[in-house]
Amino acid sequence: MRHLFKEWKNLWIYFLKLTITVFVWIMITITSVPIVNASILSISNDEVPIYIKMDKYFILYTYPIAPFIDQQGRLLIPLRMIQDLMGGNVEYNHTTKTASVELLDSVFNLTIDSEIAYVNKNEVVMDTIPVLKQDSMFLPLRLFLDHTDIDYNWDLSLKLLHITDERVLVGNIFKSFDLHDLTENHIDGNFHLQSYKIFNSKGLSYLNVKVKNLTTENVLEGKTDIQPLVYFRATRGGYSVDSYIRPNNKDVQEIKAGETLWVNKTIDLDDAAYIISVGRRVP
């Protein structure tokens, strides 16, 4: 009987030690998992459509997510984009979930999940609503286009909004690109940047851009200018550009008339606020 009690005691001690060991291992595993920062790197392997072009610049990404088309078929952009890229002034009230936007000569007031907006204090009923995505307010861009005289064109076949008005092409990101643009007489309008993908490998970030040749001619190898620039959030500051003069900046291969090609770029994407790119033809 005493022997049996000793066996049970040893078994209980073993079970207790095993339970403690498993518990400690689980806690170490949980606490050692890195907290994923809300960044573009979290969308790896997803193909993201590109809906906006401002002058020669395609707008690939805006923090925290790229512009998107909602269930009502309306293009939504983050509130900060109006200030950072278009030169407007914006304010957001977390308590009331309302935003105030001053753009050109108009003042807009919008509320999350409400179809009612005010333009210069006049009520406007929209056919969609502003929404909150990852703690950022997204607004229907159509409202600002309809109630200002901004020059733009909507290409239905490409699903691309092309803003050409210089008054709203004032973001520092555009100035940063121009500062590093060493090209001469490159031709805009020959290519459409349809979408992009992000992936990481061996500590490097890769940006894959899907490019369509809109012309009726084959564009030879080395005659396609796809040049992204990443503008970082304020917590990091600065920007990154895949330099034209860098040795491993390889020529883009031939793109046949009307066909598409994935173009790969190696560039620092961590903590990105905006990603833009040109899509031009080399003369």
Instruction: Spell out the domain ranges in the chain.
Output: 1-33, 40-75+141-281
Q: What pLDDT score was predicted for residue 46?
A: 87
> What pLDDT is attached to residue 241?
84
Specify the pLDDT at position 231: 96
Residue-wise pLDDT tens digits, 28-70: 233 333 333 455 666 557 899 999 999 999 999 999 999 999 9
pLDDT of residue 141: 98
Residue 32: the pLDDT is 30
Q: How far is CA 273 from CA 74, 117, 268, 269, in A?
A: 22, 27, 12, 9
What's the confidence (pLDDT) of residue 186? 95
162 CB-contact burial (10 Å; exposed 0-12 / middle 13-18 / buried 19+): middle
For residue 44, the model assigns a pLDDT of 59
| 41, 42, 46, 128, 196 from 199: Cα distances, Å | 7, 9, 9, 33, 10
81 alpha-carbon distance from chain centroid: 11
Q: Are 177 and 241 in contact (CB under 8 A)?
A: yes
**Hey, how many other C-beta atoms are within 10 angstroms of the C-beta on 77?**
23
Q: What is the pTM (predicted TM-score) of this model?
A: 0.84
Distance of alpha carbon 21 from its chain centroid, rounded?
Answer: 44
pLDDT < 50: residue spans in the chain? 2-6, 8-9, 11-37, 247
